[in-house]
Every structure is written in structure tokens, then in C-alpha cells.
Structure 1
Amino acid sequence: MRVASLHIHPVKGMRAVDVDSAQVEARGLKGDRRWLVVDADGKFLTQRSHPQLATIDATVTATGLRLSSNGNAIAIDRPDRKSRRRVVIWDSEVDAAIADASDFLSARLGGEVHLVFMDDDAIRMKDSVWTPKPEPVSFADAFPVLVTTTGSLAALNRDIEANGGAPVPMARFRPNIVVDCDGDWPEDHWRKLKIGDVVLDLVKPSDRCIVTTTDQQSGARMGKEPLASLARIHRSTDPRINGVIFGMNAVPRILGEVSVGAPVEIL
């Protein structure tokens, strides 16, 4: 098995960036989900409520971030440590740094929104029944890294096509690490992976939502797939997860670099 592809999402909810290699930090892949869009009250926004986030490109630069959408672009400096606000993401409150992008984003998202950055002073520790202790995490939903496999996508698309639908791309699932492997749902049985020097604990199946029905270029909702197919063939059997699953959430245990093409070992 090898790493098929690597992806970071500089701003939660915006388009993914494909990378050839990435540093794995305690909070996840370097540069992944360190920026967040929030509403006027400081509550986080995602494609669940704002699918048009998928139409915005976000690129990490030497000085901060570049956002572009429909031919318009803005360069955003990484904010200093002084200007801060409390933001809410799920059951976490984070003291984040405020970035200057409100006008650009508000015009595209249809209401007052703001951009914040998780700098070194911004701490988010996620407590979970799936891990023995609270773990540091970025603005990801719950865990630092999301791992998916080509084998599971092939199994899913066979069912979708058998029922008259069109296959879905891996981008719908917004993973960080895609493992190239054969077989249906192999990650269901993995508990620990080694990629180079990096070791990941696979701690929880990833339950999926309406974001997987969203085209990651246009922001359009594309119907019931892949949720309808997952409901037929890959529902959770764990009473702690009510719904369909695809991929595994992971926590880094040994940090380092991962790269496309690197061997993947099941420990």
C-alpha cells in the first residue's frame, strides 16, 4: 500500500489544496484547517450551511493567505497576536487571531462573516470517548487527520452505479491522506498506520453528512449520493455513531513528514 494523495484545507470549508508532501504535526497536517470563517457571533461556518465556501480557493503564502473566487482575489496577512476574539466550533471555544478579510468574504457568503487564524496562542483540546485523553486539534470537526482509501471509494461507486447513479470523486469526502489499496472498506479494521516515520492511531470511523453531496468546485448540491449508497452498504454498527461512515479519523502519535507514493504499513 502507498499514499495515493495528500490534501490540506487551509480554510475550513474552502477548496482543498493537493500537496506532494506534508509535515504531520500534533494538530494535523501543517497548514490544514488553521483558518476559519465565523459569523457575526463568532460561530463557525462550514459547507453544511454555506456550500458556496467550496467556490473559494485558499492558498497558504509566506506571509499569510491568498483567497480567490470568480476572478477576484485578496492577499491576507497572517494576523498579529494582539487582535483576538473567542470563536465557537462545535463544543469548543478558541481564542483565535482576527484576520482582515470580512468585506471580501461577506460579499461572497451573503452576510456578515469574519476570518480567524489558529496561531500558536490559540489552543483547542478536544475531549472524546474515542481517545484516552484530550488531544490537540485544528479547526477540523473533531480529530487532526482524516484517512480514506481508494478501495472503499471503488466499493462505494460500484453500488452507486449499480443503482443508476454517477460515481463520486474522493474530493467529496475532504480527506487529508488517501491510501491506495485494494479491497472493500479495509480501513474499518485498521488501528494504527505507519507512513515513513509517522505513526497514526485510527481512533474513530468518520460519520458523513450533507457536505459529501456537494460539488467541491461549484458548491452545488448534487442529490442524495453518496449518502444514499452509504446508507445501503456502510452504516455504522457502533452505537456511539448514528449514521453512515466513510474513512477513519486519526490522531498522530509520532510526528514527521508524509509524501505521495510513500509506503503505508499496518501496525
Structure 2
Amino acid sequence: MPAPRVVRAGFAPVKGTRHQSYDAVRLDGAGPVGDRAWCVVDVDQRRVLRTVQHPSLVAVSAVPSPDGPALTLPSGATAPGAASSSGEVLTCDYWGRSVTLDLLDGPHSALLSAHLGKPVRLAAAPRRGVVYAGAVTLVSTGTLRELAARTGLGVDDLAARLRPTFVVGSDEPHAEDTWVGREVDLGPARVRVTSRVPRCAVVDLDPVTGERGGRVLAALAAYRPRAATGELLCAVDAEVVVPGTVEVDRPT
């Protein structure tokens, strides 16, 4: 198939926080480098926080640096990027899987605890350690325009709600569904599309404030067939076949 044009790229450096846009994303064999490199942990419960249960995480903006993520809250409060290992290792539950995490020292945990209203710690995650779903997620512009027409939300808003690694150009809504089992070139990189993405209530969270609303799930339910499991599907997951840096093709 012809290589699709990449019109948007992004990920969240801290799992569950705001989905950030980038001019380029480097893919290695495990996926986007820097994607969900950190996570937020409830130490007492030994559990990685999930966005669907802690929607205010979405309001946290995280910018990666070699020393750690720089965090900014809607209030303007910040924590700089410097974060160091505390020497504490904790095995946590994440969607029924056990993951071993390196708890970090620095100002991030206090900032996040105040924002979430409960004691939490920032932790460094092993590559692919706390990721639910595929390494790379793709959605087409046709899909976003179809959902925009059905919800009244903007295309950029919907892209931030669906949190794909790449938005690719296509006039046909849900064209990406036909790519399952196929390889897709993304600039110098290549991915193999493995499955469609089941969606949860996170897509109904405002991508900036974390407030509930938008009725994206209801819009999908009105016209999209459900999976055999009953889940609503939108966008596709993929695995990296050929690593490379994928740049956004912006109009000149």
C-alpha cells in the first residue's frame, strides 16, 4: 500500500498525563522512544494509576528531559525535570500484570500527590512495562473527521482524546481498519498493524482539563459494530518492524 502521510505525532511521557504533540517521534524495536517512560504509583495499594480511575491526570502536562519529566499543573505549579532513583524498587499491579518499577526522588511526587489528593510516587517504567495495548497506535484523518461530524468536537480535540502515536492522512473514515495484518511505511520506519483498539471512558475526558464530557463513546456506539467482547473499536495498534524517526509532514 502507498505510504500514508503522517500529519500528527505524539505520546505522553508520563503515563496518563496529557498527550503531547511532537514534530518527530523516534521508533525503536519497542515503540516510540520516551513514550510512557514514567508512571504514577499508589505505593500503599501497589498499583499503577489508571487514567480512567484518575481523570485529573490528563490535566498534567509532562515534558521529557534526560533527567526526568518536567511537570506543569493547570494552576501553573511546576516540578522541574530532575528526578533520581531512590533505590526503592516496587512490584505493582497494572491491568492484572505485575511490573517492577524504580521509585524516584524529586519534587514530582509531592506535586502529583497534591493534585490528585492522595499520596503517590513518580516511578521510572521499564520499556513496555506499564503499557496497555500496542507499541504504536494509528488513526486516520478520515476517522477523526467522521467523529468530528458526529460529536461536534474539533479534529485536534479528538486526536488528543484518542491519543494515537500517529495521525495519518486518509479521506476514508476508519480506513486503518483494513490495514490489520499489513505492514505500513511511516517515513523511514515500518510498522505491522496487529489489531483494532478497544476504547474506554478515557476518550470522553477533555484532553486538557480531564473533565468528563464529549460523548465520543456514544457516537462510536451509534454507528460502529462492537467487537465480540462488546468493546467499541477505533484506531489500530501496530508493532515496529523497521525502526526509524518519523517526522510530521506539515503543509508548506
| TM-score normalised by length of structure 1 | 0.83
Task: Structure 1: give runs of 5+ residues left out of the alignment.
Answer: 124-136, 263-267
Map of 1:35 onto structure 2? 38
Contact 1:76 1:99 in 2 (8 A): no
| Cα deviations by residue, 1:128-187 (Å, 9 ceiling, x for unpaired) | xxxxxxxxx253212211111110111222233xxxx55552111111111011112100
1:231 aligns with 2:231: no
Determine the structure 2 residue equivalent to 1:265.
none
Distance of 1:214 and 1:26 partners within structure 2? 31
Query: How is 1:185-196 mapped onto 2 (pairs within 5 angstroms)?
Result: 185-190=174-179, 191-196=182-187
Aligned partner of 2:26 in structure 1 is 23
SS of alignment partner, residue 101 of structure 2: strand
Q: What residue is the counterpart of 1:170 in the other structure?
A: 159
Amino acid at match of 1:231: A
Is 1:222 matched up with 2:213? yes
Contact 2:46 2:91 in 1 (8 A): yes
Is the 8 Å Cα contact of residues 51 and 220 (structure 1) preserved in structure 2?
yes
Report SS of the residue matched to 1:77.
Answer: coil
In structure 2, the residue matched to 1:201 is 192
Q: Hey, what does 2:120 align to over in structure 1?
A: 113
Alignment of structure 1 residues 133-172 onto 2, 5 Å: 137-160=128-151, 165-166=152-153, 169-172=158-161
Residue 255 of structure 1: aligned partner: 243
Whole-angstrom CA distance in 2 between matches of 1:166 and 1:150 = 14
Task: Give distance in 2, aligned partners of 1:43 and 1:169.
Answer: 29
Give how far 1:76 is off.
Answer: 4.1
Q: Distance in 1 between matches of 2:153 and 2:164?
A: 20
1:103-133 CA distance string (max 9 Å, x none): 2111110112111112xxx36xxxxxxxxxx
Among candidates 240, 244, 252, match of residue 232 of structure 2: 244
**What letter corresponds to residue 65 of structure 1 in structure 2?**
P
Among 72, 96, 117, the residue aligned to 1:68: 72
How far residue 56 of structure 1 moved from its aligned partner, in angstroms, is 0.8
- Cα distance between partner residues in 1 of 2:87 and 2:29: 24
Q: Is the 8 A contact 1:11 1:32 kept in 2?
A: yes
Task: Work out the CA distance in 1 between the residues paired with 2:72 and 2:153.
Answer: 29
Equivalents in 2 of 1:35, 1:71: separation in Å?
21
Once residues 144 and 226 of structure 1 are traced to their aligned partners in structure 2, the CA distance between those partners, rounded to angstroms, is 23
TM-align CA RMSD: 1.9
CA distance in 2, matches of 1:166, 1:175: 17
Using the alignment, how far apart are the partners of 1:56 and 1:19 within structure 2? 17
Partner Cα distance (1:35, 1:4) in 2 = 26
Looking at structure 2, the residues matched to 212 and 105 of structure 1 have their Cα atoms a distance apart, in angstroms, of 22
Contact 1:235–1:243, Cα closer than 8 Å, also in 2: no
TM-score (norm. length: structure 2) = 0.88
Distance in 2, Cα, partners of 1:189 & 1:152: 13
Measured in 2, the distance between the counterparts of 1:24 and 1:16 equals: 17
